[in-house]
Amino acid sequence: MSGTLFYPLVIITAVTGFFLSLYIRNKKAGKQTLVCPLRASCDDVIHSEYSRFFGVPVELMGLIYYALVALVYIGLQFQPGLIPDQAILWVLGLTATALLFSLYLTVIQAIVLKQWCSWCLASAGLCAAIFYGAISGYTIDVFTLLAEYKFLILIFHNIGFALGLGGAVLTDFFFFKFFKDLRISEDESKTMSMVSEVIWFGLALLVVSGIGLYLPEMVRLNESSKFLVKVIVVGVIIINGIFLNLKISPQLVNISYGVKHNHKSGELRGFRKLAFALGAVSITSWFSAFLLGMFRSVPLAFIDLLSIYLIVLGIAISVSQIMENYLTRKVSA
């Protein structure tokens, strides 16, 4: 099938997404109830604290994204010469980022809010359809362009690392600073939630740019022990981040020391120990990924390099539990 046959699919999907986002935007602005098919809880989702990212309403981001994609592909359909190949490449990256962001929002509905928004799920489906159409219908030499823009992509990759690593360091710093007085307030919890958005943004930038760096050199990288371990480390960061930033952080107020809770015996302590362990996994994994990215090559086999990472990870978790025990004894004294 010719790549250009996918252009109408992308255009129709993007226009549909635009009007869907506009519908949600108008309902929120007019403070009207958003009718939700399938007996879901759309209002609870679209008015939650996760309905904004860096303070920008998610539906507004959707409006801009869908409009941009629609305009680019309308240009490709009717005036292909007006759209340079470089612009197509960046739009492909944008569709991948949008897909990751929609997955992030879906995970929030499932794990944090435990509420579903039918329109939000529909938007996620539209993002997936656009990504599929964009990937299936590209008519440019993507690998050559990626190789040509390797230096620029590498800059974005390093920015992603800087944001993610910096955010992880700040999160752990705030985490232990907040526990210094053995109490975490709601405002402090919100501060950490804001930092977690920086981490997720950095992680998305890291993944998308990483794919851009991988594709032109996949044959060589598939044989690299350093690269394979780095992929595993990034996977650990993602899974750990889901639990730490989406499960633990929203409940930080509930794990404050010195405040009465209605938890079962031992539940609060176990939750607190888990928070310390996940924090250790986060900072260790981000530093590991950063160090692996710094070296051009590592003279170690895959299993040896992976073993070193796992050993360091185990030590970090053990240290975190020692610190948690120390704080527990301190508050009990």
Q: Which tens digit of pLDDT belongs to each residue from 214-227?
A: 988 888 888 899 99
pLDDT at 147: 85
CA proximity to 53, closest of 201, 182, 152, 271: 201
pLDDT at 101: 92
Tens of pLDDT, residue by residue over 171-217, are 777 766 666 555 666 676 677 778 888 888 988 999 899 988 898 88
Contact 253, 185 (CB under 8 A): yes
pLDDT grade for 258, boundaries at 50, 70 and 90: very low
Tens of pLDDT, residue by residue over 229-254, are 999 999 999 888 888 777 776 666 55
Please give the full DSSP string across 238-296, using - where no structure is assigned. Answer: HHHHHHIIIIIGGGGGGG-TTS---PPTTHHHHHHHHHHHHHHHHHHHHHHHHHHHH-S
This prediction has a pTM of: 0.81
For the ranges 18-27, 179-188, 281-290, 320-329, which has the lowest average pLDDT?
179-188
Q: What is the largest CA-CA distance in the chain?
A: 75
Judged by phi (left if over 0) then psi (alpha if -120 to 50, else beta), residue 115 lies in beta
pLDDT at 1: 43
Measured CA to CA, the distance from residue 145 to residue 84 in angstroms comes to 12
Whether 306 has a pLDDT exceeding 80, the answer reads: yes
Average of per-residue pLDDT across 75-101: 85
Which CATH fold would you assign to the domain 3-140? Answer: de novo design (two linked rop proteins) (1.20.1440)
- Beta-carbon contacts of residue 239 (< 8 Å; ≥ 6 apart): none
Tens of pLDDT, residue by residue over 119-150, are 899 999 999 999 988 888 776 677 888 888 88
Measured CA to CA, the distance from residue 137 to residue 155 in angstroms comes to 27
Torsion, Cα 136 139 142 144, to 10 degrees, reads 150
**Domain layout of the chain by residue ranges:** 3-140, 147-332
The residue with tokens 């950063």 is: 290
pLDDT at 124: 93
- Beta-carbon contacts of residue 260 (< 8 Å; ≥ 6 apart): none
Which is higher by pLDDT, 130 or 78? 130
Arithmetic mean of pLDDT over the chain: 83
Measured CA to CA, the distance from residue 118 to residue 37 in angstroms comes to 6
The residue with tokens 């592909």 is: 73
